[in-house]
Structure 1
Amino acid sequence: MTNNPLPYLPFGVSPGLMAVGVSAAVVVLVVTWAGLRRRREAALYNLEDLVASLHQANAELTGRVRTMGEALSARQSDLARLVTERLDSVNARMGQTLDRSAHRTGEGLARLHERLAVIDAAQARLTGLTEEVVGLKDILANKQARGAYGQGRMEAIVRDGLPADAYAFQPTLSNRTRPDCTVKLPGDRAALVIDAKFPLEAFQALKAAEQEHERAQAGARVRTDMGKHIRDIAERYLIPGETQDTALMFVPSESVFADLSEHFPDVLQKASRARVMVVSPTLLTLAIQLMRSVARDARMREQAHLIQAEVRGLTDDVRRLGERVGKLDDHFRLARKDVSDISSLADRIVTRGDRIDAVDYAVPPVPANDQRVQPPGLFDGAAE
């Protein structure tokens, strides 16, 4: 019999010890496997709990998401409605603003058209004024036309301020001269002379002068021409007993009169010494108004007796009116007394009527055995 040799065991380990080691290893493996199984089962249980928790969390999350979705949808609807309302409001305000802007723009355009029309009218008037100024320049350049222009302005002022019987144009004086106008003053046979001619060429030369020597020459010419014209007025129109001792020289330009007053006071003093007063349109208007007031006062003095007679008649009428008012007041007083008496009589009649109405007309009953004579009844005869 052949014996099988035992396997070689290292380190001199016996087979029994080897079996014990194997058994221990098996036990360890079994214990380890059991532990692992328990851990796996615990892990599976924990995993199931985790899955359940996840499902619950998922359900809660789904509910929250649904709630949030509904809330978001509601918010979105509210936001859309709010945006729509805001847009409608903005559109309405924008429309109103545009309407107001269009209305204001229309009004502005209308006013602009009106102003343009006014500007066009003003431009047309300026054009006409320019033509008139050019015509005036032509008139002033012509001595005869200039005299007619001054005469026209002076006549317009006189006509506007005085009655027709208080002035005369181009009358002939005793010395065969013809002044432009004479004004009759009340209470005086002497008339006031007004001259409407003036030497304009010297003033035009003064305005056109640029150099100092040219202005000096033009100023000297103004003094010469004005002095000559003042002497002519004094010699021709100041006639004792026929005209006033003062005459008026009319300058139909305020600017020319201003130049005279500012730059040529010596000329005005010379005219004053010669009893010739240089007047502008404004001063002539004031003088004419003063003459009209004087004439009105003179007429009032002339008619004073008529006014006094009318006042006396008016006083008598007022006195008679007072007497008639007194008589009428007496009539009213008597009428008021009669009305008061009638009212008192009516009150007494009413009082007596009330007393009569308060009397008791009932007849007391009469006993059957009463033999006194009874008054016949009202309808006794009718009953028979």
Structure 2
Amino acid sequence: MGSGESDNKNIMETVLFTLGGTPITLTLALIMGLGLAVIGLVILLIGQSRAARQREEQAHIDASRAVEMERHMADMMRVQSEMTGRMQTMSEIFGSRTSDLARVLTERIDANSHRVNQSMTENRTKTDETLTKLNERLAVIDRAQTNITQLSGEIVSLQSILSNKQQRGAFGQGRMEAIIADGLASNAYSFQATLSNNSRPDALIHMPNGAPSLVIDAKFPLEGWQRITEADNPDALRVAMNGFRSDCATHIKAISEKYLIAGETQDTAFMFVPSESIFADLHERFEDVVQKASRARVVIVSPSLLMLSIQVILALLRDVRMREQAHIIQKEVIALLEDVNRLDERVSKLKTHFTQTQDDVDKILISTGKVTKRSERIEALEFEDERPTLID
């Protein structure tokens, strides 16, 4: 036993290593190991304590967070409830506004539809009127087209008439006769009458009071004018114009020599031009022809001037007829004056009767006045006789 304990003691005191000059024995190492174990246990306990505290803190934090979360959830539920109420209110307001908007839109759409229908009706009416007027105008245009077609045919026939000299003379004669016949009475003119020199003018206008007749000639040289219109170059135009001047001069001379007869016809004769355009062009480009006709006492007249001359002659005839009837008018005026004088005498007599009647009426009024006054006096006397009787 003793030796064993000694060996154990030696072993325990055996130096294991030196640390910083200090020998480290097994006992010291065991003590140090035990201390380190205690220290480690303490550190472990401290760590566990810290972990427990951390877990407690984490649990507290989690609990706080849970409470906060519950509070947030309650707030969210409250907000959601408020939002639900607001949404319901907004839904009701929106529904009401939607109904009002729908009603307003319906009213406006109805009003717009009414206006559109009214506008369409007015437009349709105006369109119908426009179409009616358009149809009328088209009908007028159709009639005008028909007239133009007929006029074209007449122009063709007129050209065929003017292509022949005798037919041209008949055309001018016809226009002149129509103008004279439309303006004067049948006894105021003569066509193709024979004069004392055996010449036969186209027309004679019989002047009033036995005055000489007015001669009208319708044989205007239209063939010369036609050559002017058909000239296609300056030389041909100059030749045609000279020929037309010569024809006009010859015709004017013939009228002056054959139809101006002293005491039988007027000292002026008419040369009828059957076209206004020819008459205007004649005065514009052939002034010398017009002057020559004036010196020969031949007046160139167009259809309008002939109509005006006929109207003047008609006025003269009416004036002559008025003068012819002047003695009849004078006789009637004398008879009218006699009737007025007789009427004046009768009115004077009637005035005398009325004056006598007025005098008689005045005398009657005087007599009735006297009778009235006498009646009043008599009535007053009767009234005085009755008063004493009444007193008694």
Partner of 2:82: 60
Matched to 1:305, the amino acid is H
- The answer to whether residue 218 in structure 2 is matched with residue 192 in structure 1 is no
TM-score (norm 1): 0.76
Aligned 8 A contact 2:165 2:223 in 1: no
Partner of 1:304: 326
The 5 A counterparts of 1:132-211 are 132-211=154-233
C-alpha RMSD of the superposition: 3.9
Q: Distance in 2 between matches of 1:64 and 1:328?
A: 114
Deviation at 1:88, TM superposition (A): 3.1
User: Residues 31 and 182 (structure 1 numbering): CA distance in 2 closer, same or farther, change over 3 Å?
Assistant: closer
Q: Deviations over 1:238-281 (max 9, x none)?
A: 22222222221111111221222111121222222222222111
Q: Distance in 1 between matches of 2:37 and 2:289?
A: 172
Partner of 1:103: 125
* Higher RCO, 1 vs 2 (CA within 8 Å, ≥6 residues apart): 1
User: Residues 68 and 324 (structure 1 numbering): CA distance in 2 closer, same or farther, change over 3 Å?
Assistant: farther
Q: Distance in 1 between matches of 2:354 and 2:43?
A: 165
Deviation at 1:303, TM superposition (A): 2.2
Partner of 1:379: none
Match of 1:77 among 89, 99, 103: 99
Deviation at 1:29, TM superposition (A): 6.1
Aligned 8 A contact 2:188 2:206 in 1: yes
Partner of 2:309: 287
Partner of 1:124: 146
Deviation at 1:40, TM superposition (A): 4.4
- The answer to whether residue 300 in structure 2 is matched with residue 278 in structure 1 is yes
Q: Which has the larger radius of gyration?
A: 2
Q: Deviations over 1:59-96 (max 9, x none)?
A: 11211122222223333333333333333333333333
Q: Distance in 1 between matches of 2:32 and 2:80?
A: 62
Q: Distance in 2 between matches of 1:266 and 1:68?
A: 106
Q: Distance in 2 between matches of 1:322 and 1:127?
A: 73
Partner of 1:243: 265
Q: Distance in 2 between matches of 1:95 and 1:224?
A: 78
Deviation at 1:322, TM superposition (A): 5.5
Q: Distance in 2 between matches of 1:91 and 1:8?
A: 113
Structure 2 alignment gaps of length 5 or more:
1-26, 384-388
Q: Give 3-state SS (helix, strand or coil) of 1:176's partner.
A: coil
Aligned 8 A contact 2:259 2:265 in 1: yes
Deviation at 1:113, TM superposition (A): 0.7
Q: Deviations over 1:17-49 (max 9, x none)?
A: 888777766766666565555544444433332
Deviation at 1:118, TM superposition (A): 0.4
- The answer to whether residue 104 in structure 2 is matched with residue 86 in structure 1 is no
Q: Distance in 2 between matches of 1:325 and 1:122?
A: 70
Q: Distance in 2 between matches of 1:126 and 1:89?
A: 53
Matched to 1:140, the amino acid is L
Deviation at 1:148, TM superposition (A): 2.0
TM-score (norm 2): 0.75
Q: Distance in 2 between matches of 1:159 and 1:93?
A: 65
Q: Distance in 2 between matches of 1:53 and 1:174?
A: 143
Matched to 2:115, the amino acid is R
Deviation at 1:207, TM superposition (A): 0.9
Q: Give 3-state SS (helix, strand or coil) of 1:244's partner.
A: coil
Partner of 2:335: 313
Deviation at 1:203, TM superposition (A): 0.4
User: Residues 331 and 152 (structure 1 numbering): CA distance in 2 closer, same or farther, change over 3 Å?
Assistant: farther
- The answer to whether residue 281 in structure 2 is matched with residue 224 in structure 1 is no
Aligned 8 A contact 2:183 2:311 in 1: yes
Identity between Structure 1 and Structure 2 (%): 46
Number of aligned residues:
349
Q: Distance in 2 between matches of 1:26 and 1:272?
A: 158
**Higher helix proportion:** 2
